[in-house]
RNA sequence: GGUGCCAUAGCUCAGUUGGUAGAGCAACGGACUGAAAAUCCGUGUGUCCCUGGUUCAAUUCCAGGUGGCACCA
């Protein structure tokens, strides 16, 4: 049994993961791995609720502002880079904190995802063009032909799923279904999952308030500064995509703010849905810091 | 104080010539393995203000009450 433990702090957006993870990292005198698919971009700050400079100076945090919106990123890349970083850091620490709300990124580190061949960008763009021209039915029929197994279990109304299976096939000649093994990779460290959640009404109030604070901190200007790159996937993000519509003149200012709040609430709900089925998570109220620390210490003593 | 109008889902409101009701928005549930703050699927969640009356049957009609709005004093 290893004596290395990764403490994973997860939960919906706006619940207070950053503050708690800093407290935990200070307590164990260690560093933080961020698992946040948007805070990772250096061009985004206010709208992603990235930790501020004071917080970043208090505890060293990795994968914050470490990449650019102009480079493609993915959960698979995060898995490789994060595992790499974690293994390096475990040479100096017995415990590490990982925190974030990107469900797939967390699972990529905790459980691993399959190795899937690189996708040829040209092929992806061609398929997207076909989808936009002919709709989903065309691609669906093709998937049925080349990979009936995946077709039988795929979400056939979700074009991203179908596109992905096709682009894998045309890039590598291998069926997507043959690549899916649900790996459950064995990590050489213990994983302790701390989930934060609270009454839904309170969470919604916190989310709404946080959006108002983002606006007062200058989110409008930040969104303007990246407006010209709005087509980038990295900017298909709550807090930015709504403001882009406002800049376009297609929705009002007040409408944009309301939509940011609504979409944040919905994002939080999807996170909760995802995390709910993970029975390894020990849930706490974010204010319950004492018990959280007590719980972590107890578990680490048991494991080591 | 008087008169009139209104009271139906979380909100804005339809509707039922008397047979316990439906839109929009919001909300809620779910899926998810190289785009994941993405993408996709599903769900009306209701003392029809309260109390009586008429009726086989009242959210609907009648009376009174309560609350809100408007106008007149």
SS (H, E, C) A76-131: HHHHHHHHHHHHHHCCCCCEEEEECCCHHHHHHHHCCCCCCCCCCHHHHHHHHHHH
- 110-169 of chain A touching strand B, CB 7 A cut-off: 113-119, 124, 128, 155, 157-161, 163-164
With a CB cutoff of 8 Å and minimum separation 6, the contacts of A66 are A40, A42
User: Which DSSP symbol is given to A64?
Assistant: S
Contact between A70 and A80 (Cβ < 8 Å): no
Q: Which of A197, A198, A141 is nearest to A165 (CA)?
A: A141
pLDDT over 70 (residue A214): yes
DSSP percent split of chain A into helix, strand, coil, nearest 5: 55, 10, 35
Specify the pLDDT at position A119.
85
Q: Any idea of the CA torsion for A9, A212, A267, A237, to the nearest 10 degrees?
A: -100
Judged by C1' against the alpha carbon of A201, the nearest nucleotide is B27
Question: Average pLDDT of A93-110?
Answer: 97
Place of tokens 């995509």: A241
**Calpha distance A6→A4 (Å, rounded):** 7
Specify the pLDDT at position A299.
94
Could you check: is the Cβ of residue A62 within 7 Å of any atom of nucleic acid strand B?
no
Residue A201: pLDDT band with limits 50, 70, 90: very high
pLDDT tens for residues A38-77? 999 999 999 999 999 999 999 999 999 999 999 999 999 9
Q: What is the average pLDDT value for chain A, to the nearest integer?
A: 94
Specify the pLDDT at position A303.
75
Residue A120: pLDDT band with limits 50, 70, 90: confident
pLDDT over 70 (residue A276): yes
User: Which DSSP symbol is given to A41?
Assistant: B
Q: Does the predicted model carry a pTM greater than 0.90? A: yes
Please provide the DSSP assignment of A272-300 as one string. HHHHHT-TTEEEE-TT-HHHHHHHHHHHH
**Calpha distance A264→A97 (Å, rounded):** 25
Residue A243: pLDDT band with limits 50, 70, 90: very high
**Strands (E) located in chain A:** 5-10, 32-34, 61-62, 95-99, 190-196, 281-284
Residue A262 CA, nucleotide B11 C1', distance (Å): 15
Question: Average pLDDT of A217-239?
Answer: 96
Specify the pLDDT at position A254.
92
**Calpha distance A105→A8 (Å, rounded):** 12
Could you check: is the Cβ of residue A230 within 7 Å of any atom of nucleic acid strand B?
no
Share of chain A above pLDDT 70, in %: 99
Question: Average pLDDT of A266-272?
Answer: 97
Residue A258 CA, nucleotide B4 C1', distance (Å): 38
Specify the pLDDT at position A182.
87
Place of tokens 């609430």: A265
Residue A1: pLDDT band with limits 50, 70, 90: low
Within 13 Å, how many C-alpha atoms sit on residue A213's CB side? Answer: 11
**Calpha distance A231→A60 (Å, rounded):** 32
Q: Which of A97, A47, A53, A98 is nearest to A69 (CA)?
A: A47
């Amino acid at each position: 049994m290893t004596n290395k433990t990764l403490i994973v702090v997860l939960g919906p957006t706006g619940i207070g993961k950053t503050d708690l993870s800093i407290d935990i990292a200070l307590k164990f005198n260690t560093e933080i791995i961020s698992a946040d698919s948007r805070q990772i971009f250096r061009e985004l700050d206010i709208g992603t609720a990235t930790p501020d400079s004071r917080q970043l100076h208090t505890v060293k945090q990795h994968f914050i502002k470490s990449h650019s919106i102009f480079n493609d990123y993915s959960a698979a890349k995060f898995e490789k880079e994060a595992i790499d970083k974690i293994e390096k850091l475990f040479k100096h620490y017995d415990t590490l904190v990982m925190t974030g709300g990107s469900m797939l990124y967390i699972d990529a580190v905790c459980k691993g995802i399959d190795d899937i061949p690189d996708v040829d960008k040209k092929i992806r763009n061609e398929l997207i063009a076909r989808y936009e021209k002919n709709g989903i039915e065309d691609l669906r029929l093709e998937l049925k032909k080349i990979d009936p197994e995946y077709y039988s279990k795929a979400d056939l109304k979700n074009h991203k799923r179908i596109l992905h299976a096709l682009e894998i096939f045309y890039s590598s000649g291998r069926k997507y279904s043959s690549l899916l093994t649900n790996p459950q990779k064995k990590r050489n460290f213990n994983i302790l999952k701390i989930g934060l959640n609270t009454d839904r009404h309170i969470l919604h109030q916190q989310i709404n308030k946080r959006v108002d604070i983002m606006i007062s901190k200058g989110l409008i200007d930040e969104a303007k500064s990246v407006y010209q790159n709005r087509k980038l996937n990295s900017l298909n993000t709550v807090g930015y995509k709504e403001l882009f519509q406002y800049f376009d003149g297609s929705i009002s200012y007040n409408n944009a703010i309301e939509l940011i709040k609504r979409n944040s609430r919905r994002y939080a709900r999807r996170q909760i849905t995802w995390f709910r089925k993970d029975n390894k998570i020990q849930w706490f109220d974010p204010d319950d810091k004492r018990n959280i620390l007590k719980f972590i210490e107890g578990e680490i003593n048991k494991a080591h």
